[in-house]
Structure formats: structure tokens, C-alpha cells
Chain A
Amino acid sequence: MKIAARFYIAAILAFLYLPILVMMAMGFNESPLYELPFSFSTRWYQALAGNAPLVNSGINSIWIAVATSIIATVLGTMASVALSRRTFRGKTLLQLMLLPPIAIPWLITGTAMLVFFFYSGIGRGLHALLIGHVALAIPYVVLVVGTGFQTVRADLEEAAMSLGSTPVHAFFSITLPLLYPSILGAALFAFAVSLDQFVISYFLATPGFSTLPVQIYSAIRKGFTPEINAISTILLVGSMAVIVIFALFAKPGGVSDKR
């Protein structure tokens, strides 16, 4: 029974990873038509360097992810302080308001942003993408930092204040250092959310300004070339690295069964 179970897990892992590995391998295959047998070549990676739209959109993606990560982490942590440490009316409603960006299909959120930004004069492009990405990342930051708050005792801050510290100073010198792993985890999470976001970006990008997933999508629709495999491999390895770092800083919920 145990052996069968282990074979089954291996089969599931093969199902999850095999297509990705095949895709990566094809980026190193000489043939432009993905013809086998395999012959190793880095020509598609060299071709990438000369593909200005892809390179530029990749740079855009990284900048937007960095900016999203910073803005969402600051705003989300502030909200998390209020939601975790203060009591006030309407708190449940505010907590529920974090769900729509996560739960509503991105297609609906994205098209709604397109409509509203178009008619309100916000338009599309860099700033519109940033507004959208931050909104999607904030709920995750509030949740991750909020989980961190549960492990930091509130009375530490109260003790500091009764000893004459201002609330602000007590927060920055006591709670914030203790929250540091959660906040760093939330920042990486927000970075990953932004880097992988496709649907919202697709509706808010302009021909002149787009992100890497949007460029990859339009390249796929035009026809498959191994260059797509090469850039996809880079994106995949990059986001996996971010997630592995994230996992090292803050154990995502449910992964560890120690609780």
C-alpha cells in the first residue's frame, strides 16, 4: 500500500513538472520547429538579447513588481496594524472588503478597471498597471502580516507605552522588529503576485508599455518559437527563486504541520 502511494505521488509530481521541463528543454533545442532529436544550442537565448520588446517588457515587469511590493507592503502593513490591534465598528466589513480582489475572477476585475480607468481619464499604461497590481497585492500583505501579528504579543507595546514611549515609537522599536519576517515575506509575496500577474496587465497594457507575461501571450498567439521557451524559462526560474526565498522567511499557511 505504501509503495503504491509513493508511486502515485511520483506520478503526480511527474504530471506537474514534466511539461515544464519539456518546455524548458525545448528552449535549448537547436530546431526552430521544436524538431527532435534534441541538439543542444543556446541560440534562442542569444536571440532573446536582440528582441527589444521582450527585454523591455521584462524590465518593466521587474520595476512594476518592485514598486508594487514596496507600496503594497507599506499600505498593507498599516492597515494590518489597525485591523489587528485596534477595536472599532465596521471592522468585519473592512476585513470582508479585502476578499473581492482575491475572490472575484481577474477577468471581471480587469475589465472593470479597463472601463473605469478609460472613462475617469486614468487611462492605461504604467500607472494604471501599478494601481491594479498594488490593489491585488494589498489583501495578501494584510493577511500575511496579520498572521504575523498573532505571534507578537500586544502587551509588549503597552508595557513600553506605560514606561513613557509614544505609540509610534513603541511600534517602530518593538512590534516592527518582531514582525520583520512576516513583513519581508509579505513583500516577496507581493513581488511574486505582481511578477506573475497576466490577466489584469493584459487589459491595462498599451502597445507601447506592457509587461513580460503580456508580451509572452501575444507572442504565443502569433505562433510558437523557441524564443518564447527561453524567456519563459527565465521568468519561471526567477519566480521560483522568489517563492523559495519567501518560504525560507515566512512559512506559508498549512505547509508546516507543527501548529
Chain B
Amino acid sequence: MPLDPANSTQLREPGGSRKPLPPWASTAALLVPTYGWLTLAVFLPLCTMFAFSFLTATPMGKAPIVFTFKQYRAFIDQPYLLGVAWQSLLMGFWTTFFCAVLGFFAALALVRATEGKVRETLLILVLLPFWTNGLVRVFSWTMVLREGGFLDYAIHSVWPGAGSVGFLYTRQAVVVGLVHGYLPYMILTCYIALVTIDNTIVEAASSLGARWWTILWKILLPMAAPGLISGSVLIFVPVIGSFMEPRILGGRVGVTMGTVIEDQFTQAFNWPLGAALSFTMLAVVLGIFATFSGVLRRGTAL
């Protein structure tokens, strides 16, 4: 980096006439814009919504504002919500499970069967779709899974008499779309954990007669555990809050906590209930983060 000598003549000019700011003032000046913006856009809204969750109804016009805890009783008052919550948790569980199984072995295959430039290219190829529009990727699955879609076409070209196997608008379709969306996450976190394992440990184990499943259970899986756990948390949390995937791939059966909350804000106009459900979900999310915070910190420190 060449330093322009002509530039250095101007250095003293501004400093001479003005007193330099005290360090705390310049630090504050650097931080205020960012944190002011975050306060306006994230923290004040979250506080407002928290306050909202204790109202009886969306404040409109001159109607008096009444505080209540009844929104948080929604799960008792409207038992169907319990079923919806259960479905959302199941959706989160199955998505995380399939991502963990598929992602762990994909990371393992990358670490043990590829190297150098090839590995780097494959890893970028795995991660690339993750940074493209999630909505578009979900839409892509409707092309594959619909009746008469690509899946049917592929099967019929092999076995012309087969019936339709298209399963768009089912819960399975939602899970397939979500696994597709979040799998790269798990591959990355598992890869980061596995790539640090010293190859000589595995070689030592196998030269001492350990079978591959012993190596898998006793060495690889325990050492990849931080990656598996942080990947699982990073997948489970957004999945239970998803609403676009269930709407597009699940159709009428795709009712989840996410879609119920969205409905309160866009259709039913019951903002206090939506806020209470959001904060219930947020409590679950924070609980998960708190439980795994140690693992997450180690997982992201890399």
C-alpha cells in the first residue's frame, strides 16, 4: 500500500485548530448510529409487541386500552393451538433429524474422500444454494412434487403404468422443502467440526483393529457433536418459526405456529394474540439458545 507523500502535508491542518475529541466521545459517535438504528428497527418494536401481548384487543380509535393475561392462555382457551404447536415441533424435529443424518455423512464424505481444490469447490457448491432466495427454492419443489410434476414424469418414463407419486400439499412435502433449505447449514457446521479431527487418531484406531462403526461411534460422532448440536439449533429455531414453506408446500394441511401467527397479523387483525403467540415462541427459542449456549459459542468461535 503506497502512502502518498503529498497527503501527509494536510495531516496537521484539521488537528491544529480543533481540540481532539475525548476518546469516549469518539467511541460513542462511532457506536450511536448503529445501535440507534437497531433500537428503532428491532428493540423498540420487540418491546412494543411485548406490551401488546397484554392487551385485550388491537387498539383502534377511542376504544379504551385494557390489560390482560388472557392472550397467554390461548393454548388453554383454544385447544386446537396445542395441536398446531405439536405439529410445528414435529416439523422442526423431522427437519433437524434428516438434516443431521444427511448433513453429517455429507460432511464426513467431504472430509474423508476429497481434498484440496476439489473439496473446496464441492463445499462452495454445497453452500451456494443457501445464499439464494429461500422462496424461490421452495417454489422449485412445487415443480418437482406436484401431480404430473418432474417426479411423476421421471418415474413414468421408467415405469409408464405407475400412478402419481406427487405429494405436494402434504406435511412430508413441507419437510422435504425445509430439509432442502437448511441442509447446507448442517453440512457446514459438521464439516468445521470434522475437519479439525487429526487423521492420525483415526489411523491409530483402525491399525489397532477398530471396525468402521467403532470409529464412527467412538471417535467421529463424539468429536463432531459440537457441530451437530450447533447445526441442529441453527436449523430448529428458524424452522419452528417458518410460515412461507408450510403455506406453499403444505397448502391446507400446512398449518403451523408460523402460519397461525402470520394470520393474526395479516388476516384476523388480532395483533395482541399474535404478539402473545410470538413471545411464547420466542421463549422457546431463547430456552433452546440458553441450553446450548456453551456449545454454540465454541461452534461459532471457529
Q: List residues of chain A with CB under 8 Å of any chain B CB.
A: 1-2, 5-6, 8-9, 12-13, 15-20, 22-23, 26, 34-36, 75-76, 78-79, 81-83, 86, 88, 94, 97-98, 100-101, 103-109, 111-117, 119-120, 131-132, 134-135, 138, 142, 164-169, 173-174, 177-178, 192, 195-196, 198-199, 202-203, 213, 216-217, 220-221, 224, 228-229, 232, 235-236, 239-240, 243-244, 247, 252-257
Q: Using Cβ atoms and an 8 Å threshold, which residues of chain B touch A228?
A: 139
A-B pairs, 10 with minimum CB distance: A105-B241, A135-B41, A5-B113, A116-B45, A112-B45, A5-B109, A23-B140, A79-B34, A19-B140, A82-B30
Among A164, A239, A254, A256, chain B packs the most CB atoms within 10 A around the CB of A254
- CB <8 Å contact, B135 and A22: no
Kindly provide the distance from the CB of B295 to the nearest chain A CB, expressed in whole angstroms.
15
Residues of chain A contacted by B38 (CB below 8 angstroms): 97-98, 101, 135, 138
**Can you sample 25 A-B contacts with CB below 8 Å?**
A9-B113, A12-B183, A75-B37, A79-B34, A97-B38, A100-B42, A101-B42, A105-B240, A105-B281, A106-B238, A107-B243, A108-B241, A111-B261, A112-B46, A113-B41, A165-B8, A177-B1, A195-B133, A198-B135, A203-B266, A217-B135, A217-B244, A229-B143, A239-B133, A243-B132
Q: In the complex the two chains form, is A114's CB within 8 Å of B265's CB?
A: yes
Contact A17 B247 (CB under 8 A): no
B67-75, B79-87, B118-126 - the one binding chain A = B118-126
Q: How far is the CA of A209 from the CA of B120 in the complex (A)?
A: 41
Which residues on the B side are within 8 Å of A224 (C-beta)?
142
Measured in the bound complex, the distance between the Cα atoms of B130 and A196 in whole Å is 11
Residues of B participating in the A interface, judged by any CB pair closer than 8 Å: 1, 3, 7-8, 11-12, 14-15, 20, 23-24, 26-27, 30-31, 33-35, 37-38, 40-46, 48-49, 52, 59, 102, 105-106, 108-110, 112-114, 119-120, 122-129, 131-137, 139-144, 146, 148-150, 153, 180, 183-184, 187-188, 191-192, 195, 212, 237-238, 240-244, 247-248, 258, 261-262, 265-266, 271, 274-275, 278-279, 281-282, 285, 289, 302
Task: Find A115's partner among B23, B45, B137, B139 (CB 8 Å cutoff).
Answer: B45
Residues of B near A106 (CB, < 8 A) are 238, 241
Task: Pick the contact of B49: A76, A79, A115 (CB < 8 A).
Answer: A115
**Interface SS of chain A:** helix
B143 touches A255 (CB 8 A): no
Partner of A198, one of B3, B124, B244: B244
Contact A232 B192, CB 8 Å, known A9-B106, A134-B41, A213-B133:
no
Residue of A nearest to B51 (CB): A115
Cβ A107 vs Cβ B262 within 8 A? yes
| Alpha-carbon distance between A112 and B42 when the two chains are bound, in angstroms | 8
- Docked pose: A15 CA to B187 CA in angstroms: 14
Q: How far is the CB of A221 from chain B (nearest CB, A)?
A: 7
Complex CA–CA separation, A22 to B148 (angstroms): 13
In the assembled complex, the Cα of A147 lies from the Cα of B126 at a distance in Å of 23
The answer to whether A108 and B281 have CB atoms under 8 Å apart is yes
Q: How far is the CB of B90 from chain A (nearest CB, A)?
A: 17
Chain B residues with CB under 8 A of A174:
1
Residues A254 and B302 in contact, CB atoms below 8 Å apart: yes
The answer to whether B42 and A86 have CB atoms under 8 Å apart is no
Shortest Cβ distance from residue B84 to the other chain A in the assembled complex, whole angstroms: 14
Q: Cβ of A135 and Cβ of B37 under 8 Å apart? A: yes
A104, A116, A173: which contacts B285 (Cβ < 8 A)?
A104
CB nearest to B192 among chain A residues: A254
Docked complex Cα distance between A255 and B124 (Å): 7
A33 CB to closest chain B CB (Å) equals 9
**Known contacts A78-B33, A112-B49, then 12 further A-B pairs from the complex at CB < 8 Å, ordered by chain A residue:** A8-B109, A9-B113, A23-B139, A97-B38, A108-B46, A108-B279, A109-B46, A131-B40, A135-B40, A166-B20, A232-B139, A235-B133
Known: A111-B278, A217-B244. A173 touches B3 (CB 8 A): yes
In the complex, what residues of B have CB within 8 A of residue A86's CB? 23, 27, 30
- Residues in A with CB closer than 8 Å to B40 are 131, 135
Tell me the smallest distance from the CB of A96 to a CB of chain B, in Å.
11
Query: Chain A contacts of B195 at CB under 8 A?
Result: 257
In the assembled complex, the CB of B276 is this many whole angstroms from the nearest CB of chain A, namely 12
Indicate which residue in A105, A112, A166, A169 contacts B237 across the interface (CB closer than 8 Å).
A105
